[in-house]
Structure 1
Amino acid sequence: MSKTTPKYLLLSLPTSVVPSHHADDALEAISTTVSAENGSAAPFSIPEFKIGTLDALVQQADELAKLESQCQGVVAKVADALRNILDGDEAQIERMMVVNDKPVDQYLRTFQWNKVKYRADKSLAELIDLLHKEGASIDNDIRFKYSQYNQVKNTLATLQRKQTGNLSTKSLASIVDPRTVVQDSEYIETHLIAVPNSQEKEFLKNYETVAPMVVPRSASLVASDNEFTLYAVTTFKKHSVEFVHKARENKWIPRDFKYVEGGKEEERKEVERVGGDERKVWGETLRLGRTAWSEAVMVWIHVLVLRVFVETVLRYGLPLDFVSALVRTPSSKQADKAKKNLDDKYSYLAGNAFGRDKKGRVQRDDPQDMHGAGEGSAEYTPYVFYEFEFN
């Protein structure tokens, strides 16, 4: 059974939601509205940024919506990479998924805008561009390293199958006596055929006649396992292609083999070399994954902060007088309840765009051209609201 994943609600409301217009009182009102059984509300620090024109803000709101979706995708991609290289070990995965050396919950509760990397005196356009480039760089780094790891992992798996598989797939270097195979003949050659054990009698009865010029009684037993028996069969070269084709038609598996002096030892060394490469790249990918997840989450949250700020300006206007809060809910079910409580209490903020029907239920009348629940969302909220989680 999968564990329940907390869901976070990041929102801002004007301080006018309380008579005192005080941020602390507004936060208390939000917390009471959410109710303790659904989650907990805490203040969330959002600095004031340089505000440009209204047209620029509207455009930046759209850019941030797209960028936030991309950042969320990068976080999910890094998380998937970590889960795969750790084989789903939840304890190890949890240890790796920390943000700035903190559990994600602690990072969010103590969030402060990184003024060193993203100076608040820069324009919104500059900050958006900087965050976009950083997110893209993280995406490229993890994509390259994870692809490299998968390549070496697959190469090792292929080599190991050749060492441990059945006679239809495993290496024949340590199995076939070179004296069994006709070498350097101008006219004849030896074919190694892996025959399913259930078809061995049929093979011995028919192999001489499936193609012209098969040397009579040339089939010799080379090796056998629980699934296949390996035979060596001699044919004239001019009909070798036809014999191989007919063997495949009969579900007998021709095996490529060329005797190489010291081949067995070379294969062993190759497995050891690639195994060493796999362990090295695994460690590199794990370290990068841990760093990338931390950095990707930080970029994502900073983009979310910009979304809240821009949307707050568009919603509530100037001068800025708002309270921002992070609501942590134990699950999607509690998040939905908290959201409903907030909608019920603060629907009046939307004016004509958000009201109630005759039974007192919140309804939406005309949300066109309004920002709110995020790109692709059909739901309009009367206050600035975004929800997210870490799967």
Structure 2
Amino acid sequence: MANRYWVVSLPAQTSASSIWNRLQESISKHSFDTPLYRFNTPDLRVGTLDSLLSLSDDLIKSNSFVEGVTHKIRRQIEDLEKLSGVDTNALTVDGIPVDSYLTRFSWDEAKYPTMSPLREIVDTIHVQVAKIEDDLKVRVAEYNNVRSQLNAINRKQSGSLAVRDLSNLVKPEDVVISEHLVTLLAVVPKYSQKDWLSSYETLTTYVVPRSSKKLHEDNEYALYTVTLFVRVAENFKISAREKGFQIRDFEHSTEAQESRKQDLERLMQDQETLRSSLLQWCYTSYGEVFSAWMHFCAVRVFAESILRYGLPPNFLSVVLSPSVKSEKKVRSILEGLCDSTNSSYWKSEDEAGAMAGLGGEADTYPYVSFTINIT
């Protein structure tokens, strides 16, 4: 699949069929590796020149919006599939690969009646795409909310001893809790372990001698227990903090541990359900937005061609996908198929900015041309 296509319209001085045959022959002879297709632009309702000029002012901005939403959904699909470790499936429009949909484009009269004013068609596309973008934001926010909750839990499970959940590291037999005694959990920097072991018994009175036991160690900290009288626990915490030892609040509860486990399982299930639902929605919505984008491109090439070549509509619309090394040759072929008067007019420096006002690109040519980037 090519990633970049040119949509081009050429003035048909005699007939569209004639210019098509000449273009095919020139491409075959001078740039045979450039795929070439007709872009089926219907006979749309022109309206007044003023309405066409007014519409042209908005064409590039509207195109950027629709194209942006298309790419936003595609990137979301790639992100979701990357998380699940699978390759991105081929993106389609109604079951047709997107590149084939572009190169075999056919106007959907039921969705966008050709008798509707061009402004109405463009506005319909804009509203449709804007609604899909709003839905995307809501669905992604819901999915990311669950992911954030899971990430917070995982940080507690896998972070350093200073922040992680300690319930999996402390067994009931490690803790003494009675009317007069309590076991505290101290997070000690690895380089301070000797200091801890030599000083914990003297941080306050009524510390049980030799009661400290190391339960766990990570790259930064070691987790120790210490048993002391309840009435001196607060004094001990203050003295420990002053020496750089962190006393973690902890209450061993089988019920609480089971509840946390159930919450984790529920969030993991919710995440997978939302991921699957969002991915399926993105596949469907991508097809809808891409289809809307191609219809917009058909309106754009029609409007720009009328403004460029005049009435009645008499032009040939095509899609090409030249390689980078063939671009210059293809541009030369396309220019050669335009009459010399038109060519010299549009190459004039004084008129270089005029086409930009008609929805054209920065580089101006004696024919209508804009680029579609699928990825």
Q: TM-score range by the shorter chain?
A: 0.7 to 0.9
Gap regions ≥5 residues in structure 2: none
1:166 and 1:225 in contact (8 A); partners too: no
Q: Post-superposition shift, 1:31?
A: 3.1
Structure 1 residues 271 and 243, CA gap change in structure 2 (3 angstroms): same
Q: Tell me the residue number matched to 1:194.
A: 187
1:9 positional shift:
0.7
Q: Is the 8 A contact 1:27 1:323 kept in 2?
A: yes
Residue 142 in structure 1 maps to residue 136 in structure 2: yes
Structure 1: distance between partners of 2:239 and 2:325 = 66
Rate the CA distance shift 1:190–1:341 in 2: closer, same or farther, 3 A: farther
1:128 aligns with 2:122: yes
Aligned letter for 1:275? M
Aligned counterpart, 1:67? 62
- Residue 270 of structure 1 aligns to which amino acid in structure 2? D
Provide closer, same or farther for how the CA distance between residues 98 and 207 of structure 1 changes in structure 2, counting only shifts above 3 A: farther
Retained in 1: the 8 A contact 2:304–2:359? no
Q: State the alpha-carbon separation in 2 of the partners of residues 155 and 310 from structure 1.
A: 50
Q: Which residue of 2 aligns with 1:384?
A: 368
SS of the residue corresponding to residue 12 of structure 1 reads: strand
For residue 360 of structure 1, what is the aligned residue in structure 2? Answer: none
2:251, 2:31 → 1: CA distance? 73
How many Å separate the matches in 1 of 2:11 and 2:304?
12
TM-score by length of 2: 0.84
Q: Is 1:23 aligned with 2:20?
A: no
| Mapped partners of 2:324, 2:149: distance in 1 | 42
SS in 1 for 2:319: strand
CA distance in 2, matches of 1:346, 1:146: 48
Counterpart-to-counterpart distance in 1, 2:20 and 2:287: 28
Does the 8 A contact of 1:223 with 1:231 survive in 2?
A: yes
Counterparts of 1:17-56 in structure 2 under 5 Å?
A: 21-34=14-27, 35-56=30-51
1:77 aligns with 2:61: no
Q: For 1:194, what is the secondary structure of its paired residue?
A: strand
Counterparts of 1:109-188 in structure 2, within 5 Å, are 109-164=103-158, 167-177=161-171
Find the partner of 1:270 among 263, 288, 292: 263
The one-character-per-residue Cα deviations of 1:125-169 (angstroms, maximum 9, x if unpaired) are: 211111001111111122221222222223223324444555444
What is residue 306 of structure 2 aligned with on the other side? 313
Measured in 2, the distance between the counterparts of 1:142 and 1:38 equals 39
Tell me, in whole angstroms, the C-alpha distance in 2 between the residues paired with 1:32 and 1:56: 37
1:238–1:254 distance in 2 versus 1, CA, 3 Å = closer
TM-score by length of 1: 0.81
Corresponding residue for residue 220 of structure 1: 212
Counterpart CA distance in 1 for 2:7 and 2:31 is: 17
2:321 corresponds to which letter in structure 1?
R
State the Cα distance separating 1:100 from its structure 2 match. Answer: 1.7
User: Using the alignment, how far apart are the partners of 2:73 and 2:131 within structure 1?
Assistant: 13
Query: Bigger shift: 294-303 or 215-224?
Result: 215-224
Cα displacement (A) at 1:92: 3.5
Aligned partners of 1:116 and 1:257: how far apart in 2? 65
Where does residue 53 of structure 2 map in the other structure?
58
Query: Which residue of the other structure, out of 6, 9, 16, is the alignment partner of 1:12?
Result: 9
SS of residue in 2 equivalent to 1:223:
strand
Q: Residues 332, 185 of structure 1: CA spacing in aligned structure 2 closer, same or farther, 3 A cutoff?
A: farther
Q: Which consecutive residues of structure 1, in runs of 5 or more, have no partner in the other structure?
A: 356-363
Shift of 1:180: 5.7
Q: Is contact 1:68-1:303 (8 Å) kept?
A: yes
Equivalent AA in structure 2 for residue 260 of structure 1: S
Letter in 2 for 1:120: T
1:183–1:7 Cα change, 3 Å: same
Question: How far off is 1:7 after superposition?
Answer: 1.6
- Is the counterpart of residue 339 in structure 1 residue 331 in structure 2? yes
Q: What SS does the corresponding residue of 1:86 show, helix, strand or coil?
A: helix
| 1:254 Cα offset (Å) | 4.8
Aligned partner letter, 2:353: Q
The change in CA–CA distance for 1:177 and 1:29 in structure 2 (over 3 A counts) is same
Contact in 2 for aligned 1:75/1:293 (Cα 8 Å): yes
| The one of 81, 89, 103 aligned to 1:86 | 81
Contact kept in structure 1, 2:56 and 2:357, CA below 8 Å: no
2:275 to 276, 279, 282: 282
Q: Percent identity?
A: 27
| Structure 1 residue 218: Cα displacement | 7.9
Q: Distance in 2 between matches of 1:45 and 1:278?
A: 43
CA displacement 1:19-71 (0-9 Å, x = unmatched): xx121221122334444444122111111222222222112112121111011
SS in 2 for 1:87: helix
Distance change in 2, residues 1:144/1:54 (3 Å)? same
**1:368 is the counterpart of 2:319:** no
SS in 1 for 2:40: coil
Paired positions, count: 367
- Is the CA contact 1:352–1:365 (under 8 Å) kept in the aligned structure 2? no
